[in-house]
Chain A
Amino acid sequence: DTEVTQTPKHLVMGMTNKKSLKCEQHMGHRAMYWYKQKAKKPPELMFVYSYEKLSINESVPSRFSPECPNSSLLNLHLHALQPEDSALYLCASSQDPGTANNSPLHFGNGTRLTVT
């Protein structure tokens, strides 16, 4: 079982809806990530939070809004999405950046998002 929990597992939403993806980890990791993965493609980085502050935004459209309420939680708020935003959204976490020697990212099972 993965130690990074993502909810929901599946989400279908219309282009005018507002929804949120949630991610939780209790490994004490201080870096958390959102990745987007289209079918038959590798994951692409969207956002990185380091010590609950946004450290990387890979020029993601503003209809995706990340939030890190505390060190264990990471949300991705969705609004006015397009059908091409349909994908698998993966959350990940890793040990304290800057103190651990390139520790691996631990991924959740992902949320399969369909925008209609």
Chain B
Amino acid sequence: AQKITQTQPGMFVQEKEAVTLDCTYDTSDQSYGLFWYKQPSSGEMIFLIYQGSYDEQNATEGRYSLNFQKARKSANLVISASQLGDSAMYFCAMRPDPNFGNEKLTFGTGTRLTIIP
């Protein structure tokens, strides 16, 4: 069974500062993927970034980067130069390698990020 833990229910960050959202996970799978999604108040789940368990380099997508520490089973999201539009709920999620027949994506409890002007 997989478990995703996000220990920060809410965070307040000053505009233009960098922010780190924590995510730890637990799995017995050797091959898996880690994802971060953003959910504004409108409800849509927006895919931000992906890290494969065998990827040696940390993933980056624009202002988003993923601090992946496999031995510690952590996959923290870093947002640089935060903007007011970054205010939203952020979910960390994990899925085993679908090549082994499991397509289930499991979400953590989320962190509500509020950017202060």
Chain A residues within 8 Å of B, Cβ to Cβ: 2, 31, 33, 41-45, 48, 50, 55-56, 88, 90, 92, 94, 97-102, 104-110, 112
Q: Which residues of A contact B103 (CB under 8 A)?
A: 31, 33, 48, 50, 55-56, 94, 97
- Check if B32 is an interface residue, CB within 8 A of chain A: yes
| Stretch touching chain A among B17-25, B65-73, B76-84, B92-100 | B92-100
Question: Contacts A43-B45, A112-B43 known; A98 to B105 CB distance under 8 Å?
Answer: no
List the A side residues contacting B107 at CB < 8 Å: 42-44
- What are the residues of chain A within 8 A of B98 when measuring CB–CB? 31, 97-98, 100, 102
* B47 CB–A CB distance under 8 Å: yes
Task: Give the CA-CA distance A107 to B104 in the complex, in Å.
Answer: 14
Residues facing A in B87-117 (CB within 8 A) are 91, 95, 97-99, 101, 103-110
Asked if B95 and A2 sit within 8 Å, CB to CB, the answer is no
| Sample of 25 A–B contacts (CB below 8 Å) | A31-B103, A33-B103, A42-B91, A42-B107, A42-B108, A42-B110, A48-B104, A55-B103, A56-B103, A56-B104, A92-B45, A99-B99, A101-B33, A102-B32, A102-B33, A102-B98, A105-B105, A106-B47, A107-B44, A107-B46, A107-B47, A108-B44, A109-B43, A109-B44, A110-B44
Would you call B42 an interface residue if the criterion is a C-beta within 8 Å of the partner chain's C-beta atoms? yes
Give, as a whole number of angstroms, the nearest-CB distance from B87 to chain A.
16
A90-B91 contact, Cβ under 8 Å, with A45-B104, A55-B103, A105-B105: no
By beta carbon, the residue of chain B nearest A1 is B44
* Contact with A110, one of B33, B43, B97 (Cβ below 8 angstroms): B43
| A residues less than 8 Å from B99 (CB atoms) | 97-99
**How far is it, in angstroms, between the C-alpha of A67 and the C-alpha of B35 when the chains are bound?**
27
A21 CA to B110 CA in the complex, in Å? 26
In the complex, the answer to whether B104 meets A105 with C-beta atoms within 8 Å is no
CB neighbours (8 Å) of A97 from chain B are 98-99, 101, 103
3 residue pairs, one from A and one from B, having the closest CB atoms: A102-B33, A42-B107, A107-B45
